[in-house]
Amino acid sequence: MSILLLSMFACEGEYKIRETDTALGSDGGDTEDTTPEEDYSEFDGASLVIHEPASGDFLPYGETASFSAEVIGADGNTLDFDDIVWTSDIDDAWTLTGRDLSDDSLDVGTHALTAEASLPNGDRLAYTIGGVLVQSAYTGVYTGTLTVDVAADYNGTTYAAGCSGAITLVVDVYGETATGDAGCLISLFGYDLDTTYVFDLENDDGSLSGTAGLDLSFYTLDIDTTGDISDDGVATLSFATDIYGYGDLTGEVEATRVSRDVSEYE
């Protein structure tokens, strides 16, 4: 029989021996499996902590951010465990797996981010941070000053007038549009003209363009407007137009971001 078995194995180029849970004893009965169990005691009493981002952090939408967490043993040392799953409470499509990651796909909103780890010893750990704000670096409420100058000719004489007033601009959460309004009182030819302006602008990576709608009561005059906005929160605008041949109007805006929260304007 042994010669037959040897000849059978000799015909094979490769073979594997499979370990089984039981073996035959000398009396033909089963014997107990003596394979040692894995020791996962290093995970007993472990904890999970998120290092990045922190609660309340601002993450610019579409820009790469760091996500870092680790499992710490009861002795205070970092354990070699990378199977950490990240999720958001408001972005169901967003999930990451890993200990130290870079990602730019988290959608806009105020997130509670949770990292979870299912440890080899059967323990499940979770750690949550809240108030992580994701939106465009340009997003926010901007307040500042609108300055308008008017030069008009009457009977061969040029008259000049000017005014200034407050302006509020709001840049949406994706940083794509800027809208707002302003007004100021111009005194010209003995008349007080309460002018109002409605701004409707697009933002292309910090370059603003669109219109300032001058409300003339009976008609709205759309004036081409251009400007710039920085991701550190300063917006400038300028516009100019001829008012039906009666005079020239120029305007400038300078505004500073006072809040990133635009929820009341959505």
Mean of all residue pLDDT scores within the chain = 86
pLDDT score at 6: 36
pLDDT score at 194: 81
Higher pLDDT, 239 or 231: 239
pLDDT exceeds cutoff 60 at 265: yes
pLDDT-above-90 percentage for the chain: 68
pLDDT score at 35: 61
SS3 string, 93-150, reads: CCEEECCEEEECCCCCEEEEEEEEEECCCCCEEEEEEEEEEEECCCCEEEEEEEEEEE
Mean pLDDT of 79-87: 97
pLDDT score at 24: 44
Phi/psi of residue 109, each to 5°? 135, 175
pLDDT score at 58: 97
pLDDT exceeds cutoff 70 at 12: no
Query: Which range, of 62-66, 195-199, 254-258, averages the lowest pLDDT?
Result: 195-199
pLDDT score at 31: 55
Which residues partner with 51 through β-bridges?
none
pTM above 0.85, yes or no: no
pLDDT score at 20: 33
Sheet of strand 58-60: strand arrangement: 58-60, 124-135, 109-118, 84-88, 95-97
**92-125 confidence digits (pLDDT tens):** 999 999 999 999 999 999 999 999 999 999 999 9
**154-202 confidence digits (pLDDT tens):** 777 777 888 999 999 999 999 999 999 999 888 766 667 788 999 999 9
**Closest-CA residue to 170 (of 180, 160, 185):** 180
Higher pLDDT, 128 or 4: 128
- How many separate helices (H) and strands (E) can be counted in the chain? 1, 18
Query: Which range, of 13-17, 139-143, 164-168, 181-185, averages the lowest pLDDT?
Result: 13-17
Separation CA 139–CA 173 (nearest Å): 5
pLDDT score at 19: 36
pLDDT score at 244: 74
Q: Work out the pLDDT band at 228, boundaries 50, 70, 90.
A: very high
